[in-house]
Amino acid sequence: MFAPIFFTNIVAFLFVYNLGVGSASPKFLSRVSFHDTINSSIYGNLDYLCLDGSTVYAARKSQRFFVIDVADPANPQIKNIYSLRNMSSGISQSNGYLYIAERGGIGLPTGVKIFNLTNPNTPVESGFLTTNLNGLTTYKNSLYVFGFDSTKEKAAFEKYDISNPSDPVLKYLVDNNIGGIITVDIKVDKDYAYSQRQLPLDDRYFKYRYRKNCLFS
């Protein structure tokens, strides 16, 4: 049985491995380069991935996300490249919609950009949720947004009903600020939320801990 896995590295490649049942170890299958061949430059490393059917959506922190067709895992194809106004800080999909967290810049809001995936290769922006938190995950008809709210000087996460994906409705906000620890990731499975929290240390250490200790449901 063929089961592909997708991950990225710091030199801007998407790697595909075969996790076929019965294999002693993952087998390298293919990779996609994110070099800009026209301008002879690199788009930058990819920081966040999500998979929807045969399409991978990959976001980088520096204002860009990619649409990759993986219907043939041995030959992935970049189908589209989109620019974002702000730095991205998370990506997830649910029920035919894509959600990308954006950290606001000068004069720009922090929040979640929402895209309709009727055509998976051509996401169409359909809404924006303004929030002071800048990470996210989805589960069924719910969107969970988390992080450190600088306006209130505390960590928290919010739950939104996304039955109407273009118009999320806030259901509750949970104060997750325990002893100065901030939320850096949340995964939801059925009736449980798994929250990873981190002391607000220097940026270099934060990034290392975030990448090494992400939780997966």
pLDDT in tens, 105-136: 666 678 899 999 999 999 999 999 998 887 88
State the first-to-last Cα distance of the chain, in angstroms, to the nearest integer: 22
Tokens of 103: 């950290």
Chain centre to alpha carbon of residue 168: 18
Instruction: Give the model's confidence band at 10: pLDDT under 50 very low, under 70 low, under 90 confident, else very high.
Output: very low
Identify residue 97 by its one-letter amino acid code.
Y
- pLDDT value of position 129: 93
Of 127, 188, 180, the residue nearest 153 (C-alpha): 180
Q: In CATH, which superfamily holds the domain spanning 4-212?
A: YVTN repeat-like/Quinoprotein amine dehydrogenase (2.130.10.10)
Tokens of 98: 């894509």
DSSP state of 121: T
Instruction: Give the model's confidence band at 58: pLDDT under 50 very low, under 70 low, under 90 confident, else very high.
Output: confident
Domain segments of the chain: what residues? 4-212
Each residue's pLDDT tens digit, 175-203: 766 555 566 677 788 778 777 766 554 44
Between residues 154 and 1, the one the model is more confident about: 154
- pLDDT value of position 205: 39
Between residues 214 and 15, the one the model is more confident about: 15
Each residue's pLDDT tens digit, 61-95: 767 888 999 999 889 999 998 888 877 888 999 99
Residues in the chain: 217
Q: Which helix (H) or strand (E) holds 208?
A: helix 203-212
- pLDDT value of position 39: 43
- Cβ-contact 67, 78 below 8 angstroms: yes
Contacts 24+ apart (CB under 8 A), 33-37: 34/66, 34/78
- pLDDT value of position 12: 66
**Mean confidence (pLDDT) of the chain:** 76
- pLDDT value of position 63: 75
The 111-116 sheet, strands edge to edge:
87-94, 97-103, 111-116, 124-130
Between residues 25 and 176, the one the model is more confident about: 25
- pLDDT value of position 125: 94
Share of the chain above pLDDT 90, in %: 25
- Cβ-contact 16, 58 below 8 angstroms: no
Q: How many CB atoms lie within 10 A of CB 173?
A: 14
- pLDDT value of position 4: 52
Residue 48, pLDDT > 70, answer yes
Share of the chain above pLDDT 70, in %: 69
Measured CA to CA, the distance from residue 82 to residue 187 in angstroms comes to 26
